[in-house]
Structure 1
């Protein structure tokens, strides 16, 4: 039982598995940041739905799910192929999470799936615009709609945005705009879902991170970021998945209950606003 000393609650030792009994969906979690987040939540005790889109990612997604289930916390996991832009895909993810949850709850939703392809303004097509906005904007909106009926008080929604929303990087007209929209989601949804449902919503903005998506970028783009990476205040290096996943883990925990509507920079100090 908690005691209060000078207004500070004292509740004994910190729980090791602070997400035990919770169930999470992490979209786009076969690789990179998403995989790291799925494993981090599993380490904290949460059951995790690992999501992948392409059949060629099935093996790596199942490996991530195995890592979640074998981390020693008692967490369970399932790798689910689902298109996050489709209603059928949303249903598959929700159904999988409900199967994992003993309480028929979905406690945590992490919107990580995204597309980061880059085009100069003069090269953008309507097809590219539609594809990128479907994944980065449409998918979080309508998957959240499907999850909300199953999310109890204390639920957590985390959106993985990007510092690109604020940096004005060339070739990122659509991508930067979608990531600015992700920030707006966190602010608006925290208001809509806070007092009414007891759910917190936050956006995490990584800077450059060493993932497959980063290394799939053009050499021109990678070279253009090197001076900025070298000037990173925390350390002169590119970010790593292990720098990002624990921040999301915190935002999914009870300890983050007073953090909502926030845009949390996880860029090593590259941006201070």
Structure 2
């Protein structure tokens, strides 16, 4: 069954959706959209380093994404506005990554595949990495779910409950780095943030609890992967962007649906 490239692509898309759903919910709740974008942009530098060292792109991408996320967390609140800091680091890392790629002589690189994804070329090995990464992210978020929710609501409430908000931020940072690394092959660094944010944002008007929002986001993300791949096959369009387009249509649909009396989730 896994010899069929469309089957592998579908399973890869669903794997990324499963990883992105709970994490994307926290990204939406904490208003960390630009944080996810910055981490994703930094991953292209990790790709360049991995190719230069003749190794899998996964360890390089996750290492650089994690360094970027930790750097942003460490420098925040030290004289720079968060959006300014993220803008500088995100675009600088992307630029350095693209320059580094240009120096890799003798290595054939499809840069568009890393920027926008190449889900149709996913191999069995890639599939294993994606699903192992997704399982790790879901396990991390599930393990710290209650503490993450508390620290998301209020830092003082978290401290009163014996929870360290910085530790929970580190869990999110690690999960974000893993998700970015496994999603590069599927949607590329420029569309990873979209898969984090759009399904979660689309699920928000339909959900009454945080748990239901994460589950609905996973459903929307998975459905977007399946429908986007089908549309790409029929219409001969790029697969990664097609998946994001379907997710965006789902967001429009749920937003319109919420205007007709569907109660919104608070927070």
TM-score of the alignment, normalized to the shorter chain, above 0.5: no
Q: Which has the higher helix share?
A: 2
Given the two structures, how large is their TM-score scaled by the length of structure 2? 0.29
Q: Which has the higher strand share?
A: 1
Q: Relative CO higher for 1 or 2, CA cutoff 8 Å, sep ≥ 6?
A: 2
